[in-house]
Chain A
């Protein structure tokens, strides 16, 4: 599938090995708080806070392609950022690239 091409703005955020499988970690990138997840389908990144009450998503339960916010169990799809259970809303998602053991976030143009 071809993804919309755009200017890449890659920022290294850490080592892939620092995020154990099926866990998330928070990182600050260019002043933004971002949650990075190690899912069964690869690394994913979203804004760090739940759109409901600002819960720390990196502390949530990861399964399949979603994370469950630890505060009130809203479930968020990590591919598109959509809230799929609990309420409705969306968080920004950022493409993650893994290369040579490093994780890079694509923050767009």
Chain B
């Protein structure tokens, strides 16, 4: 057993959402405070709110986990699972575990949560009766549900309805039996509850109201329920979900003041000043909360009190409940049953929206069928905001723009993330996508209900923040210019050196290919090639396909091949049983469906250079037959195309560069929609750049007219290097040309008198000189590593370890 060493710190009893939330907030306030979580369950803290998703969708309970192991290591929070606490020695400031271990504390926080309330109905202890509280309960219910003819859910509250819907999703007919005359009676008023009952019926959940269950019948195993009126209902699975009972036994035995829950003050302190209580076990101002949002608010106040930081005292929470049932939008906030306020209802469409106003202030809301504006109404009710005209307040909320939401409005209830926190993360960390917000703030990673709102927040912010730089590495907020400057100034030659120098690529690997490109650019291809920094295509020099297989496109300059070459390709295709041989849009031959381990021998057999069809690099130069055969030909398209391809082959670029040369303005090679396109005209060539024929079509801008082949190549090469040095990574020429403007590009690329075009070509030539053919290199080095699976590369390793290897 570990623990107990070091000075006593914060000891948290309970590994649920409350204990985890408290640990996180305390850690944020006190970086050095020793924090230990003792969890009675044999699993790390998980998101109990999402249990119903587990029931509906199945899957591994591990996916509910709140934090990975590494979080506890990184934040120095000691998590001990499977440890239950037997007693608290308040005088000695220590707890005793069930195993007899003694753990001292400076501050003790009880986050012992609650257990499912099981009503004392005769027969409730029969087999086939389950509560719905843990992943284990979930598994048992699912297992029992598989053979069940009919399941009953006792209790028509939030959790009961979610459990019922989960069982229906498993194909089990379900009846919800509720004691009261309406569903979710604590949150809903009569009309909304009736509407919910109809909606549940549409979702194939039968609802029985005002049924007083008197007995669970069955001979050892549940076979049905008997009600007070004598009616019976058959079922062979009963899920009990009638409420919670706070776990106060430990506190009560220790002599702490307890009523329904452990009584706490506005700092969440119990009757012992060294002991706090948060979450479902705590009773604050006579209220025990069973919802997730108040738990986070309590944890925030308790953490501040424990850390000795200033914080508003906890004044209680406005309860807010969202039903997490697919296909039902329902949010209930505060006291929604009082008179006053107004209601907008469209029963035909299942819409019911009510704002409750008392003494001119908002006190509650119910949004059903259309939950638009829930966050702003929540904030309004929480603040007790004045409402002069309830009808227009309700209408305004429905139309509210995310920009109108107050900063303190909770967007993600699962993780208590406010609008302010999300906007700050978007602005300060340069986030540009909802997925980045999910990763950075955790908003949207719980039940997922707030994801549309997160997306709208991102849209509003990123739209506004056009001045915000595009980061090459959003994790470290580094732009391309900054990274390139570090590489140049310090003469760095590898992505790893850059990572060590400025952290780029260390938090996530997304930007590594960009870093690898910048290193090669800064060192004119005299960099150290690091496979881990390259996208898989560049590690194995082939293009990954949707099924994980690869494609092989050999270099065929200008698209001109020979019978011998075709024969060799055909032989390879047959020898390796290549599933598909296809002529590409760029006039090359593609061997598709090749296994990774076949690649090196295919290249050896082909004996042709790589076509780089897999890379952000010079791709094909497509040509028409030009003057060689075509009776309309004006220029030698094939000759110029081959010369261009040879001059540039093997060069990496910010994004792929596709080129074409057409021998006359009829433009059979479609050169006007290529990154670099050259078209023969009377008296020479036109060089176009920034064309596109992808999801949007763009005709290339005319860069220059050239009198000779040499001049055409010279102008195109100058542009190519200018693009290589100045475009953002993954910026195609058509966005680059539009962004920079063709006039600005001409001013640099065509101004021979300045010496800059010559310098650009010089740097291009230096980089080109260092290019080696990756296929030939791989064939020569006989390197199996990146091409083979671990089983194959390590040969005898699978046979087993040397004697005396692994034990335990």
- Name A residues whose Cβ lies closer than 8 Å to a Cβ of B: 1-5, 8, 10, 12-15, 18-23, 25-28, 36, 40-41, 53-56, 59-68, 70-71, 73, 75, 77, 79-82, 84-90, 92-93, 97, 99-100, 102, 104
Report B-chain residues with C-beta under 8 Å of the C-beta of A27.
Answer: 789-791
Q: B249-295: which residues lie under 8 A (CB-CB) from chain A?
A: none
Contacts of B800 in A (CB 8 A): 12
CA distance A23 to B132 in the complex (A): 42
Stretch of B64-72, B170-178, B352-360, B649-657 lying at the A interface? B64-72
Q: A3, B69: Cβ atoms under 8 Å?
A: yes
Task: List the 7 shortest-distance A-B pairs measured between CB atoms, nearest first.
Answer: A63-B509, A61-B509, A22-B532, A79-B68, A80-B68, A25-B790, A14-B794
Give the contacting residue for B536; candidates A1, A59, A87, A90; CB below 8 A.
A59
Min CB distance B657 to A, Å, is: 22
In the complex, whether B82 has a CB less than 8 A from a CB of chain A is yes
Q: Report the Cα distance A29→B81, complex, angstroms.
A: 29
Question: Do A70 and B535 have beta carbons less than 8 Å apart?
Answer: yes
Q: How far is the CB of A75 from chain B (nearest CB, A)?
A: 6
B60 touching A68, Cβ below 8 Å: no
Residues of B within 8 A of A (CB): 2, 42-43, 59-60, 62-63, 65, 67-70, 72-73, 78-83, 433, 435-436, 438-439, 445, 448, 505-510, 512-513, 531-533, 535-537, 539, 544, 546-548, 785-786, 789-791, 793-794, 797-798, 800-802, 805-806, 808
Query: Do B797 and A12 have beta carbons less than 8 Å apart?
Result: yes
**Least Cβ distance of B28 to chain A in Å?**
19
Of B60, B532, B537, B546, the most chain A CB neighbours within 10 A belong to: B532
Closest CB in chain A relative to B534 CB, distance in Å: 8
Give the Cβ gap from A54 to chain B, nearest Cβ, in Å: 7
- Give Cα distance in the complex from A92 to B60, angstroms: 8
Enumerate 14 A-B pairs (CB-CB under 8 Å) in ascending A order: A1-B72, A5-B82, A10-B806, A14-B793, A60-B536, A61-B509, A64-B508, A64-B509, A68-B508, A71-B544, A80-B69, A82-B63, A85-B436, A89-B63
* Cβ-defined contact, B546 with A71, below 8 A: yes
Pick from A4, A68, A73, A102: contact of B805, CB below 8 A.
Answer: A102
Check A14/B790 contact, CB under 8 A, given A61-B512, A62-B509: yes
B808 and A26 contact, CB distance less than 8 A: no
Given A26-B789, A27-B791, A56-B536, 12 further pairs, Cβ under 8 A: A2-B79, A2-B81, A2-B83, A4-B42, A20-B785, A22-B533, A61-B513, A79-B68, A82-B68, A90-B60, A90-B63, A102-B802
B42, B438, B806: most-surrounded residue (chain A CB, <10 A): B806
Q: Are B801 and A64 interface neighbours, CB within 8 A? A: no
CB distance from B193 to the nearest CB of A (A): 32
B475 to A, closest residue via Cβ:
A64
Measured CB to CB, the closest approach of chain B to A90, in angstroms, equals 4
Whether A104 contacts B806 in the complex (CB less than 8 A), given A1-B79, A26-B789, comes out as yes
Shortest B446–chain A CB gap in Å is: 11
A104 and chain B: residue at smallest CB distance: B806
Q: Tell which of B62, B70, B72, B539 touches A65, judged by Cβ atoms closer than 8 Å.
A: B70
Is B68 in contact with A67, judged by CB distance below 8 angstroms?
no
Which residue of chain B is the closest to A92 with respect to CB atoms? Answer: B60
A-B contact count (CB 8 A): 168
* A40 close to B506 (CB less than 8 A): yes
| CA–CA, A104 and B212, complex, Å | 57
Does the CB pair A84–B439 fall under 8 Å? Answer: yes
Q: Provided the pairs A65-B70, A100-B801 are in contact, do residues A86 and B435 lie with their beta carbons within 8 angstroms? A: yes
Contact B510 A55 (CB under 8 A): no
Complex interface: chain B residues within 8 A of A80 (CB): 62, 65, 67-69
Across the interface, A70 reaches (CB within 8 A) one of B67, B69, B544, namely B544
Q: If the complex has contacts A1-B72, A12-B806, A102-B805, are A62 and B60 also in contact, measured as CB distance less than 8 A?
A: no
Residues of B within 8 A of A89 (CB): 63
Q: Are A12 and B508 in contact (CB under 8 A)?
A: no
Q: Tell me the complex Cα distance, A2–B532, Å.
A: 33
Cα A31 to Cα B445 in complex, Å, equals 32
Q: Out of B59, B786, B805, which one reaches A99, CB within 8 Å?
A: B805
Quick check: B2 and A2 within 8 Å, CB to CB?
A: yes
Smallest distance from the beta carbon of A107 to chain B beta carbons, Å?
Answer: 13
Chain A residue with minimal CB distance to B802? A100
Smallest CB–CB gap between A48 and chain B, Å?
9
* Bound Cα distance A21, B806 (Å): 23
Tell me whether A19 and B81 are in contact (CB under 8 A).
Answer: no
Distance (whole angstroms) from the CB of B60 to the closest CB of chain A = 6
Give min CB distance, A62 to chain B, whole Å. Answer: 5
Q: Tell me whether A19 and B532 are in contact (CB under 8 A).
A: no
Q: How far is the CA of A79 from the CA of B532 in the complex (A)?
A: 19
A61 to B802, CA, bound (A): 32
**Are the C-beta atoms of A102 and B789 separated by less than 8 Å?**
no
Shortest Cβ distance from A55 into B: residue: B548
Q: How far is the CB of A88 from chain B (nearest CB, A)?
A: 7
* A105 CB → nearest B CB, Å: 11
Which residues of chain A have C-beta atoms less than 8 A from B509's C-beta? 22, 60-64, 66-68
- Given known A-B contacts A22-B532, A79-B70, A63 and B793 have beta carbons under 8 A apart: no
B790 contact set on A, CB distance < 8 A: 13-14, 18-19, 25-27, 36
Whether A25 touches B793, Cβ cut-off 8 Å, given contacts A2-B2, A56-B548, A82-B63, is yes
Q: Are B60 and A4 in contact (CB under 8 A)?
A: no
Give A4 to B69 CA distance when docked, in angstroms. 11
Cβ-closest chain A residue relative to B435: A85
- A13/B2 in contact, CB under 8 A: no
Q: In the complex, what distance in Å separates the CA atom of A77 from the CA atom of B433?
A: 18
B68 touches A77 (CB 8 A): yes
Q: Which residues of B contact A93 (CB under 8 A)?
A: 62
**Contact call A61/B78, Cβ cutoff below 8 A:** no
A100 to B801, CA, bound (A): 9
Known: A53-B546, A70-B544, A90-B60. Contact between A1 and B805, CB under 8 A?
Answer: no
Asked whether A12 and B805 contact (CB < 8 A) given A55-B548, A90-B63, the answer is: yes
CB distance from B425 to the nearest CB of A (A): 14
Q: In the complex, how many angstroms separate the beta carbon of B535 from the nearest chain A beta carbon?
A: 7
Q: Which of B81, B448, B510, B790 is most buried by chain A, counting CB atoms within 10 A of its CB?
A: B790
Instruction: Please give me the residue from chain B that is nearest to A70 by CB atom.
Output: B536
